[in-house]
Structure formats: C-alpha cells, structure tokens
Amino acid sequence: METGGGLVLVCDDTEPIRRLIRVNLELDGYQVEEAVDGESLLGRLRLEDAPLPGVVILDAQMEPRDGWWAIAHIRSDPRLAEIPVLMVTASVQQHDQVQAEEAGLDAFVPKPFDPEFLVELVEGFMGEGRDYAGRALDLRG
C-alpha cells in the first residue's frame, strides 16, 4: 500500500546505501533522485527547471564536497533553506550531533539505520515540513 508521495533527493557516495534508501522510499510511493556528493546535490537543487524535493537525505562524509558543506549551502540559499534535511551517517560522536544542530539539520540518523524508521521520518517531514523536527528523534541508538 502506497502511503508516501513527493520527491526525495538522496545524496550518498555509497551506491548500496543509495539503493537501500531508494527501494524503501519507492515502496512507500516516493519519487527518488540521487546525488553522489555535496557538489552534485547542490547542482541538482539549483536547477531552475527541476522541482525541489520535499526532503533531502545526505551523508556526512563524501568527497570532494561533504554533507556539512552541502547543508551550509542549503541553509544559506533562500530558495532552498526551508527544505527538510536529514543526515544519515556513520559519524555519531557527540560533537557530530552538536555540529548537526548548529548546521540546521532536521534529523541526524546513525548508520546502520532501520529503513522503516527513515521512511517514517521522511513521511513526517513531507507532511509537516521543517516543523516536524520538534517531534523527530535527533539520534536513534
């Protein structure tokens, strides 16, 4: 049964992670586009004739431009600033969570992650936008 809907942009340099996220979101009815690093993500977001995603999911550690670089550019661009951004990453130290909050991330999900939990987060952010961050778990252990 499809419950989702809308466009999600997934940015991770690891193809199996992108595929795992894509399959789970598509099974829930979402349209998914992919990017392999922060630079390709920003390039896609800045295309004038392409629809903006309802949610961006990105990894922290990518080359040449990482997720921290990408979130800084997203939050500084008035056209993109209100897009909910979820970071799915293996970086789960306390300083990473603090950096995530300071950067304006809406949710911080450690790898390995439960795909169903990620879909639930996407569903909440799709429905409520960045306001959902108050109800989303910042760190799931």
Question: What's the pLDDT tens digit per position in 69-123?
Answer: 999 999 999 999 999 999 988 866 666 677 777 888 999 888 889 999 999 999 9
Q: Please give the Cα distance from 130 to 54 (Å, whole number).
A: 10
Q: Please give the Cα distance from 119 to 89 (Å, whole number).
A: 16
**Which domains, and CATH codes, for the chain?**
7-134 (3.40.50.2300)
Q: Please give the Cα distance from 58 to 63 (Å, whole number).
A: 13
Which phi and psi (to 5°) does residue 88 adopt? -110, 115
Q: Say whether 122 sits in a helix, a strand or coil.
A: helix
- State the pLDDT at residue 98: 74
What share of the chain in percent tops pLDDT 70? 88
Q: Please give the Cα distance from 134 to 45 (Å, whole number).
A: 25
